[in-house]
Amino acid sequence: MNDIDSLVKHANNKNVSDNLTNQFPHPYSKQDGEKFIQMTLAQSPTAILAIEVDGEAVGGIGLHAQTDIHIKNVELGYWLAEPFWGNGIVTQAVKEMVTYGFSTFSDINRIFARPFGTNIGSQRVLEKAGFILEGKFEKTLYKNGELLDELIYAVRR
């Protein structure tokens, strides 16, 4: 909970939320942050971490377990505060999370991410971290009144 103020400060940005699912609210309130932190603290093993720069939480990265026939996969999600974009921070965080994911969740064999077709920065992050583009689904996502392409990137054990 020590990160709540920096979390809300950096998450409350439309340019950040525009690249994420609608589960990431905008505006982002202190109540949203508290609910999110409580959810992450209840997980065992830890699957969602803060991205920290100079002692301040400026983003987040997590692995989201899948169920049923997808049980051997986890979805990678991440965000970073806009002032820190383009500095290689997320690429490093993704590489570290992949290592952590495969060592912590021994039953998985694939980590995947689903950036929007419009999010070139996120696509580059995944490619630099060793992810391979597995598929493209045209105009399947509906965000802010627009139909967007969904890309599927993955890395395997």
Locate tokens 């979390």: which residue? 7
Among residues 61, 50, 114, the alpha carbon closest in space to that of 91 is found at 61
d(CA 84, CA 90) in angstroms, rounded, equals: 9
Low-confidence ranges of the chain (pLDDT < 50): none
User: For residue 132, what are the domain limits?
Assistant: 4-156
Residue-level pLDDT at 1 = 87
81 burial type by CB count under 10 A (0-12 exposed, 13-18 middle, 19+ buried)? buried
Position of tokens 């991410």?
A: 113
Which CATH number belongs to the domain containing residue 132 in this structure? 3.40.630.30
Give the separation between CA 111 and CA 67, rounded to whole angstroms.
14
Q: Which of 119, 57, 128 is nearest to 98 (CA)?
A: 128
Strand order in the sheet with 73-80: 48-53, 56-65, 73-80, 110-113, 146-156, 132-143
Instruction: Please state, in angstroms and as integers, the Cα–Cα distance from residue 156 to each residue in 47, 61, 101, 150, following that order.
Output: 18, 18, 11, 20
The total number of structural domains in the chain stands at 1
Cα distance between residue 81 and residue 17, in whole Å: 10
User: Chain centroid to CA 143: how far?
Assistant: 17
